Amino acid sequence: MQPLTRQTKVVATVSSASSRETIAGKIKAGMNVACLNFSHGSYDALAQTIARIRSIAEELETPITLLQELQSSQLPSLTHKDIQDLEFGLSQEVDYIALGFIKSAEDVRVFKNLLQQKGSADTSVVAKIENLDAIANLEEILNECDAVMIESSHLGMGMCQEKIPLLQKRIIGLCNHQGIPVISAIQIPESTIHNYSTRAETSDIANAITDGTDAVMLSSELEGNEVSVEGVQMLVKIATETEAEIEFLNNPPAKTDVTHALSVGLNAICKVLPPRYIVTFTSSGYTAQLAAGERPKVPIIALTPHPKVYRSLNLFWGVQPVLLNREVETFEELTAQVEDILRDRSWVEPGDKILIVAGIPTKHSQGTNFLKIHTIEASSKQ
Fold equal for 9-244 and 258-376: no
Neighbours of 292 (CB within 10 A): 26
> Could you tell me the residue ranges of all domains in the chain?
9-244, 258-376
12-54 confidence digits (pLDDT tens): 999 888 999 999 999 999 999 999 977 777 999 999 999 999 9
Q: Which residues pair with 50 in a beta bridge?
A: none
CA dihedral 91, 143, 172, 295 (to 10 degrees): -90
Question: Given the DSSP bridges, would you call strands 182-188 and 147-151 parallel, antiparallel or unpaired?
Answer: parallel
Using the Cα atoms of residue 146, residue 148, residue 314 and residue 261 in order, give the sign of their dihedral: negative
CB 283 within 8 A of CB 122: no
Stretch (H or E) spanning 184: strand 182-188
pLDDT at 225 over 60: yes
- Report the predicted TM-score, pTM, of the whole model to 2 decimal places: 0.90
What class has domain 258-376?
Answer: alpha beta
pLDDT tens track for 144-165 = 999 999 987 777 666 777 888 8
Domain at 9-244, CATH from 3.40.50.880, 3.30.930.10, 3.20.20.60, 3.40.50.720: 3.20.20.60
Q: Which residues are bridge partners to 188 per DSSP?
A: 220
**Percent share of the chain, pLDDT over 90:** 53
How many residues does this entry show for the chain? 382
